[in-house]
Chains A and B, each alone.
Chain A
Amino acid sequence: MSQVGVDEWVARAEERRERRGGPLGRAEAAWDALPPVARLVLFAALVASVPFITDSDFVIRVGVNTLLLGMLALGLNIVVGWAGLLDLGYIAFYGFGAYSYALLASDQIDVHLSSWLAILIVVVASALLGLLLGLPSRRLIGDYLAIVTLFFGQIFVEVVVNLDRVTLPGSDSPIDITGGPNGIPGVDPIVLLGFEFLTPTDYFYLTLGVLVVLIAALYLVDNSRTGRAWRAIREDPLAASLMTMPVKRLKLLAFVCGAAVAGLAGTIFAALQIGVFPRNFETPFLILIYAAVILGGAGSIKGMLAGAAVVGISFELLRQPSDASWIFYGGVLLALVVTVRPWRVLAAVLAATAALGLALHALLAAVWPEAVAGAPRADWALSGAIDNWMALPADPKAAGNWAFVALIGVVLWLTQASRRTRLLVLPLLLYLGSFVWENRLLLDPSVTRLLMVGAILIVVMSLRPAGLFGAKRIEVM
């Protein structure tokens, strides 16, 4: 018989290696050691303190949107992370929930139901919609489901935009159901227990409350027969069915639950925005939800919250050039710190980059002044430094475009290069990247946001396919 003591130590070696070392790892271990209720309470308390720390309406709004993204990530996690299904039209349920609430609580068709009733109806209706979409899809294997749901998501927006001139049989004049491209304005605020939710702060606490309840419910489901069955289906649907689990029914259940969560989030969103508009539910937002789920490492509740926090906050900050620059340079620095070791090498690279920039700036100022005639686009803490370090042409667009193409070329080349080459070229890469950032990306923040989401997804998947916070998984092909 084996010596259990030695055996156990060897068997757990993998576990120890997986646990991140250092203070971050210890913090994570300490967190995991707390009982679940304590973790939830701590989380709620931390988040609830945000409106006390800041006065800014903008920050509160970012907060609510991030909390909503958290809800959506958790809902999508049921479908993708637990049951292992690929729903690329998830955003349609969110939109459906928002629009349905708007129809039940606004002047659009002159119905003003009480909030309890409206929300209940919307959640049930969303679940039914999930059922409707899920039923024909039961027999579909993963990839087919992806197509059908993707199309469904596209159709939703199209249908909504075109339902503003619907002629019902029996009547002559067309009626406007969804407000077409302009959406439905003037949605009633949510009123619960006599309290009217009006300000963003009100909705912040409402969303937090709903999120906390959702987290608790999901945790309880995860640790029940349904959660186990979902996870088994994700591993191996055939084996699961042969071990008594009704796979098709469970997939449908996951789909329906995901849809209901999205519908619920939609009602809060509609009330918060005091209106619903088709552009809120287009594919870019779906990508954001997926980014949150994937970055968080599909499958774990805390991963979803972490992913939503990172994606939601970054995305909001990328709206304004001044805030966006923090994200960009901060992100680059973080990436460098994590990948370039030891410290001396990192310091050398940074110094070289700074030197390169200053030298180039001086050279250009002497030889070709138009190249440095422009001013920094973003007004933030380091604007002054950037002005002296970076070449800022007066007319940056063309140069920026070419630099962008060059940047992609250099990145692709470096993926194949040796470590030494990479380190040597790194200062040039950093300079080039900053050039593109300052001169081109900052000019079009809305495009930049989407560009960066796409780029981040590609990079993260390439480096850590399990997601930033995901657990190690073995996939059987």
Chain B
Amino acid sequence: MAPLLELSGVYKAFGGLLVTSKLDLVVEEGEVVSLIGPNGAGKTTVFNLITGVYRPDEGSIRLDGRELVGMAPHRVATAGIARTFQSLRLFINMTVQENVTAATYGGTRARMWQSVLRTPRMRREEREVREIADDVLGFFGERLAGYRRLQPAYSLSYANRRRLEIARAMATRPRVLLLDEPAAGMNPRETAEITELVARLRDERGLTILVIEHDMHVVEGISDRVVALDHGVKVAEGSFDTVARNPSVVEAYLGRVEEPA
């Protein structure tokens, strides 16, 4: 079966600085793949390349066979790739609800005049949008529910903001979800919830997930496969155990594998 997301020979340099070199990466549908590596290894760059923020100097990125290189970011998003950000990028002054409903833009088609006249099509789309919002916010149980939905995003706790970002990404109805350090800054209990969350996203929602993560306990708990990068080059690939024991990986991290709980 053809992989859902495939990067081949992707190369990107900024001026003289090489960020990604000859990267081949394959993600099958329904998989959870973790991308690990020390800081500066180029992991977020890979996300930026996939989502169209940067354009690779060489190589191709295909989603279900469809070439993504050269597509504007909003088109890549509509094609089915959504992401969260290493440092949160919520629409901070908009409400929780609005953060999510704004992201449904690509899935709706009502033009401005139709919005003003409130045509049946527009009203139908707005109903669908509300359903999507109920759906993705409901995925997080009580945390983003009830009165919280109408609160501005800046009033949320850190963990809830991270959840909201995931909910917002889900609202774009993606096929592939890119999570950039979803457990960053979380305490052990919240980290365990993230692990559970990623599994649910794959099992309940059928999402294919590519995760950047530093916390090895999380990586161990969620991954079907792990890919290790160092200085923009893939140094290891395989199951968590295989990669964790790989000497180049250990060397790249120099002892980072044994992370405190």
Contacts and interface: CB of A to CB of B under 8 A. Distances in A.
B36 interface: no
Contacts of A228: 94, 98, 101-102, 105
A225 interface: yes
Interface of A: 1-2, 4, 8, 11-12, 14, 217, 220-221, 224-229, 231-232, 235-236, 238-247, 253, 257, 471, 473-474, 476
B146 interface: yes
B142 to A, nearest CB: 7
Given A8-B146, A227-B115, A244-B103, 10 more contacts: A4-B142, A12-B151, A225-B110, A236-B89, A243-B102, A243-B168, A245-B105, A246-B74, A257-B112, A474-B92
A89 to B, nearest CB: 23
A240 B90 CA distance: 9
A4 B148 CA distance: 10
Contacts, number: 114
A277 B220 CA distance: 74
Given A11-B155, A231-B94, A247-B74, A225 B147 contact: no
A12 B108 CA distance: 33
B85 interface: yes
Contacts of A224: 110, 112, 115-116, 122, 126
B112 to A, nearest CB: 5
At the interface, is chain A mostly helix, strand, loop or mixed?
A: helix
A231 B73 contact: no
Interface of B: 51, 53, 72-74, 77-78, 82-83, 85, 89-94, 98, 101-108, 110, 112, 115-116, 118, 122, 125-126, 129, 142, 146-148, 151, 154-155, 168-169, 171-172
Max chain B C-beta neighbours (<10 A), residue from A227, A232, A238, A471: A232
Max chain A C-beta neighbours (<10 A), residue from B72, B82, B89, B169: B89
12 contacts: A11-B147, A224-B116, A224-B122, A225-B125, A228-B98, A228-B105, A243-B82, A243-B103, A245-B74, A257-B112, A471-B93, A476-B92
A225 B73 contact: no
B91 A226 contact: no
Contacts of B126: 224
Given A224-B115, A236-B91, A244-B78, A229 B102 contact: yes
A244 B115 contact: no
A473 B83 CA distance: 25
Contact of A225 (B90, B91, B104, B148): B104
Contact of B115 (A11, A221, A231, A236): A221
Max chain B C-beta neighbours (<10 A), residue from A14, A226, A242, A245: A242
A231 B98 contact: yes
Nearest to A473: B93
A8 B78 CA distance: 35
Nearest to B110: A225
Contact of A242 (B77, B98, B115, B151): B77
Contacts of B106: 243-245
Contact of A244 (B89, B105, B118, B129): B105
Contacts of B115: 220-221, 224-227
Given A8-B147, A225-B115, A242 B110 contact: no
A11 B151 CA distance: 9
Contacts of A12: 147, 151
Given A12-B147, A228-B98, A244 B92 contact: no
B154 A240 contact: no
Contacts of A239: 85, 89-91
B116 A242 contact: no
A471 B95 CA distance: 13
B94 to A, nearest CB: 6
Contacts of B107: 244
B94 A235 contact: yes
Nearest to B147: A8
A221 B105 contact: no
Across the A-B interface, give the 4 residue pairs with the lowest CB-CB distance, nearest first: A244-B106, A224-B115, A235-B91, A243-B103
A242 B73 contact: yes
A217 B117 CA distance: 8
Contact of B155 (A14, A235, A243): A14
Given A232-B102, A243-B105, A4 B146 contact: yes
A231 B72 contact: no
Contacts of A221: 112, 115-116
Contacts of B110: 224-225
Contacts of B104: 225, 244
Contacts of A241: 72-74, 77
